[in-house]
Amino acid sequence: MNPWLALVLGLVVLYFGAQALVKGGASLALRLGLTPLVVGLTVMAFGTSSPEMVVSIQAAMTGNGAISIGNVIGSNICNIALILGVCALIIPLTASAQVIRREVPIMIGASVVALLMLLDKHLARWEGAVLLVGLVVYTVRTVQQARAETSAEAAKGFSDEFGPQPTGVGISFLFVLIGLGGLIVGSHFFVEGAVTLAASWGMSPVAIGLTVVAVGTSLPELATSLVAAFRKEADVAIGNVVGSCLFNLLGILGVAALVSPIDAPGLEWGDLAVMLIISVALLPLAKSGGRISRREGAVLLAAYVGYTTWLLARATS
């Protein structure tokens, strides 16, 4: 199959698969009595990261581990610099006190841990296990801190995000199955197209993971955050991005490394440094009156354009 066709086909199937998975998963979570905070920081954020998860696992299982790591690092840079930059240009983003005090510092800490683990351009199974344990601890703490919120608020949050809730547990479960199937099929075509293009362009798998794969698998986050920005739900946009970045670092790298130890010979310290700098920059931006202004959004967007330009120049030289 033509690699461009495989890439586009895989991307489309990934996108709609993620939408079905998130809708079905969030509906099941609400029926189990989970609160809006839990649904938002776990099911919603993790669900929009499901394309990264399936693509990274597929890449690791087929011996293309470099795409797994490049996908995660590139997606986090894309989430913060591109997605929040674009959203802040639409409407200044206001971060809640909880996001500033707790979620962003945890994301920065996870970025530091991942950076240290990846300095040798290798991720062992035990390192993946450590990351995955971190995700479990974070999720449990989130559940514990969200008990005070009501199911009525959760139902309203679901309606605002997805429209009418599926009727019946069976329909919700069907959405989950369709979504998972779409992610599995879409990831196969997407990884196949990405690897073929990387070879034809003379780019390393890490470089293609940092660019094409990262942006493509970040489309659910982009769509969710843009909708939230247009609806003037700025906190949703920031929370979705921060939650997705956490899941990328702890969940995706953790699971992919457990499936198969990952080597990324084309990864450079500069890529890791950019991810960490962009993550750390989000804290003072959000703390400045709790807002990310349009000017700060433009700076984030310019940083992403500059990094991508440097990366492509490095990859093709």
| Of the candidates 179, 163, 172, the residue with the CA atom closest to the CA atom of residue 13 | 179
* Mean pLDDT within 252-278: 87
How many domains is the chain built from?
A: 1
CATH at residue 289: 1.20.1420.30
Q: Confidence band (pLDDT; 50, 70, 90) for 224?
A: low
Written as one letter, the residue type at 285 is: L
Burial call 98-130: b when 16+ CB within 10 Å, e when fewer: ebbebbbebbbebbebbbebbeebbbeeebbee
CA 55 to CA 185: how far, in whole Å?
Answer: 10
Instruction: Give the structural domain span for 124.
Output: 3-316
| Of the candidates 254, 315, 307, the residue with the CA atom closest to the CA atom of residue 281 | 307
* Mean pLDDT within 73-86: 90
* Mean pLDDT within 150-154: 51
* Mean pLDDT within 223-249: 74
| Of the candidates 187, 218, 76, 59, the residue with the CA atom closest to the CA atom of residue 123 | 59
Q: Confidence band (pLDDT; 50, 70, 90) for 91?
A: confident
- The better pLDDT of the pair 313, 81 is held by 81
**In the predicted structure, residue 302 carries a pLDDT above the cut 60:** yes
Report the percent of the chain where pLDDT is more than 70.
Answer: 76
**In the predicted structure, residue 151 carries a pLDDT above the cut 60:** no
CA 34 to CA 250: how far, in whole Å?
Answer: 22
CA 13 to CA 15: how far, in whole Å?
Answer: 5
pLDDT at residue number 40: 57
* Mean pLDDT within 102-118: 91
Pair of tokens at residue 4: 């461009």
